[in-house]
């Protein structure tokens, strides 16, 4: 937990969504995380 929010442990998380489906209090939301391209277009 950092700044009052839980953080994802990317070494453990596989992005499968099981945690969100199993959370009975619905405290976990799965959202699409999009990587931004570096400045300058990267191409």
Write the pLDDT tens digit of every residue in 24-34. 998 888 888 78
Please tell me whether residue 20 adopts helix, strand or coil conformation: helix
- pLDDT the model gives residue 18: 94
Contact criterion met (CB below 8 Å) for 30 and 17: yes
Return the domain boundaries, the chain.
Answer: 1-35
Residue 22 predicted with pLDDT over 90:
yes
- pLDDT the model gives residue 33: 79
Quote the Cα angle for 10-15-20, to 5°. Answer: 110
- pLDDT the model gives residue 41: 63
Query: What is the pTM for the complete model shown?
Result: 0.55
- pLDDT the model gives residue 42: 59
């Amino acid at each position: 937990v950092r700044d009052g929010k839980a953080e994802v442990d990317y070494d453990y998380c596989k992005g499968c969504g099981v945690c969100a489906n199993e959370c009975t209090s619905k405290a976990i939301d799965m959202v699409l995380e999009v990587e931004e391209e570096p400045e300058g277009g990267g191409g």
